[in-house]
Structure 1
Amino acid sequence: MGRIRNTIELAKTSWGVLQKDRELVVLPVLSFLGAAIVLAIFVIPGIMALPEESASSAAAGEEQALPALSLILFVIGSLAATVVSVFFTGALVAGAHERMSGGDPTVGSAISRATQRIPGLVPWALLAATVGMIIQALRERAGAVGQFILGGIDLAWNVASFLTIPAIVIDDKGPIDGFKSSAGLLRQTWGENLASQVGFGLVGFVAVIPAIVLIAIAAALNVTAFLVVAFIIAAAWIALVLAVISALGGIFKAALYLYATRGQAPEGFEGANLGGTFTRR
């Protein structure tokens, strides 16, 4: 609990950094919109390519192999969406690094820096997406024990790759070297890494409670007009919370990587207990 509490405090510190560059919240929004557009470009044709019998089988809950064209489109769409997501995460890390280095980042400067790192970011995105799809495919076919084991493998992969994007963006490492660097830094600190992810998740959950309460009140009143307005407000609020939490996570990753590799807290985190989250052993 102490680690999670410390991470929540670090989330507050990350918020302080974000206040200096609020425009960075735009990057997670662009990431979501870009990924959604890319998915639509490939997934909609993939669905249209499904024969009628496949749709009927799916509606009946029957398993049936996807046609090759649909499968290819779904895979390409997933890969492309991951590339978009990783690129904008890289841009967010770049913006955070610029601020922590004494600069004054903008959305344009962050995207420009990420563009320079495309040779590392794109291969990493493809690798990460491929690993994720393989694990997911195996989990869908595995029994209870197999799913448990694969869940552990998925968790280990996420923990080991936690700082790969900062390694690529900040130190211009390639995808493999970036992953090795991330895994090496976190090999003995997986507990702290998990605590950071849980801590930010808790912050996000608490932040969306007002939206949940609003929807509950609207449902209880059972007034259609109020319910529609409540859903719109709640959806907008949840979207904003997700964008802010994503931005805070990118700032935290950049700070954590800089602390781990430079041995001192970056600008904006001087008074934060980064050592309590990333403990050298």
Structure 2
Amino acid sequence: MIGRFRRGFVAVDASLDVFRARPRLAILPLLSLAVVGSAYGAIAVAMLHYGLVTAVFTNNFVKYGAMFAAIAVASGIGVFFNAAVVHCAARHFAGEEPTARDGLAAAWDARGRIAKWSLLSATIGTALYIAEDNVPGVGTLTRSILDLSWGLLTFFVVPVIVTDRTDALRSDLRKSGGAFSRTWGESISATVGIGLVLLPVSVFGLVLLGVAFVSTPNIGAYVVGIAGGALLVATIVVAQVLGMIVRTALYRYAATGERVGPLEDLDPNGVFPED
């Protein structure tokens, strides 16, 4: 078991090398943040225009409808741009020279499957919130556990969408869940490892934002605040790219036995043994 977690951390270190070789991949999660922000802004403007802000707090139909829309937008856009990163990572592993445009084209080709997943995610997410609010015995803890279970089950959904190109959600779920069950230690430790690698930068960014918030408003405070925000955005961007690189490599091995990218230099007898 310890070996599984150690290999996950090694994979994170190797994924940094891939990112350094393809730094332009950072544009994809940046676009994702910009599009999600714009979409949420459009939703907010529409709600203000039609006077629905108060109804969100007083009418369950409007409340859950807004929640469904928010989850669907975040999920759909997030999966779209993550799919672009996965495509570029897979092409890099194949020795090709992918561009962000290539990734976006591949994600666009998969737009139908991505839309299905965003709607499914929104349905399940909204259903869990409805259950928490209305079903006796279902509280925040239960919803959090179910959210975590869903997250683990769909851990490899983006690589499945990009590489397998099936139209059956059930088949995609089965493939994603099967890949996670075979690589659970590496998957968890890689995710934790990415967080630990970027934690100091995130903390420093938060400190800068805190300093700017308590400082007297002036040019210096604005500069410090902008720097802190930029660092936080940078950690989100890098975390997304590294996470998709690692998932692409782990899914490839789990599905085909081929060691690529972050797994390439690992001992072939030490990758995913039954320990």
Q: Same fold (TM over 0.5)?
A: yes
SS in 1 for 2:139: helix
* CA shift for structure 1 position 110: 0.7
Partner of 1:198: 192
Select the residue among 107, 112, 117 that pairs with 1:114. Answer: 107
SS in 1 for 2:172: helix
2:127 corresponds to 1:134: yes
Aligned length: 273
Equivalent residue letter for 2:83:
G
Q: How does 1:68-217 map to 2 (within 5 A)?
A: 68=62, 72=65, 75-141=68-134, 146-174=139-167, 175-187=169-181, 189-215=183-209
Partner of 1:26: 27
Measure the CA separation in 2 of the matches of 1:34 and 1:218: 27
Measure the CA separation in 2 of the matches of 1:44 and 1:233: 28
State the superposition RMSD in angstroms. 3.0
Identity over the aligned pairs, expressed in percent?
25
* CA shift for structure 1 position 213: 4.1
Measure the CA separation in 1 of the matches of 2:268 and 2:237: 23
Task: For structure 1, list consecutive stretches of 5 or more residues without a partner in the other structure.
Answer: none
Conservation of the 8 A alpha-carbon contact between 2:159 and 2:247: yes
Conservation of the 8 A alpha-carbon contact between 2:161 and 2:172: yes
Q: Higher mean Cα deviation, 74-83 or 169-178?
A: 74-83
2:14 corresponds to 1:9: no
Conservation of the 8 A alpha-carbon contact between 2:209 and 2:229: no
Measure the CA separation in 1 of the matches of 2:181 and 2:120: 20
Partner of 1:50: 51
Measure the CA separation in 1 of the matches of 2:51 and 2:121: 27
Measure the CA separation in 2 of the matches of 1:215 and 1:40: 23
Change (3 A) 1:94 1:217: same
Q: Higher mean Cα deviation, 176-185 or 249-258?
A: 176-185
Measure the CA separation in 1 of the matches of 2:271 and 2:235: 23
Conservation of the 8 A alpha-carbon contact between 2:86 and 2:248: yes
Report the TM-score, using the length of structure 1 for normalisation: 0.83
Change (3 A) 1:239 1:96: same
Q: Higher mean Cα deviation, 216-225 or 248-257?
A: 216-225
Task: For structure 2, list consecutive stretches of 5 or more residues without a partner in the other structure.
Answer: none
* CA shift for structure 1 position 80: 2.9
SS in 1 for 2:58: coil
* CA shift for structure 1 position 74: 5.2
Measure the CA separation in 2 of the matches of 1:82 and 1:110: 18
SS in 2 for 1:187: helix
